[in-house]
């Protein structure tokens, strides 16, 4: 009896270890892209996004929105807008769409207010700007760009950030501008839903230079001035022409602890991994070991793109002319589930 019991214990332990390794090494639901020339990749948040909890009408809305943003961003790149202008343009569109947890439609704090965070970074110059705890700024990513370009600082928060915004000619809006009816209904049941989400973009211009940006309303029901990974450079956003432009989404506390966006770059620069290997390792080995869930998008200077996640789904898309293209016609991809 004791021998039989021991055999079952070893079997269960073995299956558990195998199952964990399978989870950590399973394919990362995305096509492989390498773009030639300007390209962009976007995300609209990762989490428990499945066909079972998505109506056909909502899926159509999300896909249409992502396609519209990709088309606008790519057209701007193709006509020569700067990579940082395109980052702010794309994030501004996503911040204006109540489908996503950024800007209008952001989730609310435990006090029922919207508090917004954002960051942007240039991969060639390593210049960056970040803002957090905003309650009256319609487009946080645009303010992060202003911090980057027109202040002596990198990271501004709360009332000080909003005072700087006014100095730069950006108006303030009432906090209820961000609170859509859909989010109010969600707020009533926030304890059950624990909604998290983010929007982000990574860009490669025609010269191969990179840029990244991320914007969010943060975690549903957050308290005490909580700030997540999005405005923390190296955690939620990072760009380096020597590595990659990265934008993250997920449970921010874990992304901060593991410095996920920077870690992908470090794995490339110091660990000699390619972008896909570095993204997979960071999410499926490092973040999984810490029980963190989410995803990231990335572009490197050679045009390789990733949309990697360890959650059931991630709103995501990419557009650019593939290296393998014989026609020069841009490819546009949009995904939602773990495909």
Report the C-alpha gap between 216 and 116 in whole angstroms: 6
Name every residue whose Cβ is closer than 8 Å to that of residue 63 and which is 6 or more positions away in sequence. Answer: 334, 336
Catalytic residue among 3, 28, 180, 198: 198
- Cβ 249 vs Cβ 200: under 8 Å: yes
Q: Has 198 been annotated as catalytic?
A: yes
Pairing of strands 128-134, 155-157: parallel
| Interaxial angle between packed helices 83-95 and 140-150, expressed in degrees from 0 to 180 and rounded to the nearest 10 | 150
How would you class 27 by CB atoms within 10 Å of its CB: exposed for 0-12, middle for 13-18, buried for 19 or more?
Answer: exposed
Name every residue whose Cβ is closer than 8 Å to that of residue 69 and which is 6 or more positions away in sequence. Answer: 42, 90, 93, 94, 317
- How does DSSP assign 159-215, residue by residue? HHHHHHHHHTTPPP--GGGG--HHHHHHHTTHHHH-----EEEEEE-TTS-EEEEEE
- Catalytically active residues are 198
């Amino acid at each position: 009896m004791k021998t039989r019991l021991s055999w079952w214990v070893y079997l269960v332990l073995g299956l558990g270890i195998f199952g964990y390794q399978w989870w950590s090494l399973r394919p990362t639901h995305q096509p492989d892209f390498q773009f030639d020339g300007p390209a962009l990749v976007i995300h609209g948040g990762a989490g428990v996004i499945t066909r079972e909890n998505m109506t056909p009408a909502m899926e159509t809305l999300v896909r249409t929105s992502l396609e519209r943003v990709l088309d606008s961003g790519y057209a701007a790149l193709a006509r020569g807008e700067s990579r940082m202008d395109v980052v702010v343009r794309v994030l501004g569109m996503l911040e204006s769409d109540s489908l996503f947890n950024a800007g209008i439609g952001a989730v609310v704090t435990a006090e029922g207010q919207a508090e917004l965070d954002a960051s942007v970074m240039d991969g060639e110059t390593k210049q960056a700007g970040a803002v957090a705890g905003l309650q009256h700024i319609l487009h946080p990513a645009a303010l992060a760009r202003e911090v980057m370009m027109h202040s002596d600082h990198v990271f501004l928060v709360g009332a000080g950030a909003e005072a700087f915004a006014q100095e730069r000619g950006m108006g303030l809006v009432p906090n209820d501008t961000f609170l859509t009816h859909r989010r109010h209904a969600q707020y009533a049941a926030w304890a059950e839903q624990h909604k998290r989400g983010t929007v982000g973009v990574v860009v490669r211009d025609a010269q191969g230079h990179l840029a990244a940006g991320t914007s969010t309303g943060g975690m549903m029901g957050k308290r005490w001035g909580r700030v997540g990974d999005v405005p923390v450079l190296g955690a939620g956003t990072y760009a380096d022409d020597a590595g990659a432009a990265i934008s993250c989404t997920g449970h921010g506390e874990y992304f901060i602890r593991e410095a996920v966006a920077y870690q992908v770059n470090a794995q490339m620069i110091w660990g000699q991994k390619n972008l896909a290997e570095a993204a997979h390792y960071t999410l499926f080995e490092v973040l999984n070991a810490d029980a963190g869930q989410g995803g990231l998008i990335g572009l490197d200077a050679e045009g390789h793109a990733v949309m990697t996640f360890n959650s059931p789904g991630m709103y995501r898309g990419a557009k650019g002319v593939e290296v393998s293209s014989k026609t020069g016609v841009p490819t546009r991809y949009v995904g939602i589930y773990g495909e």
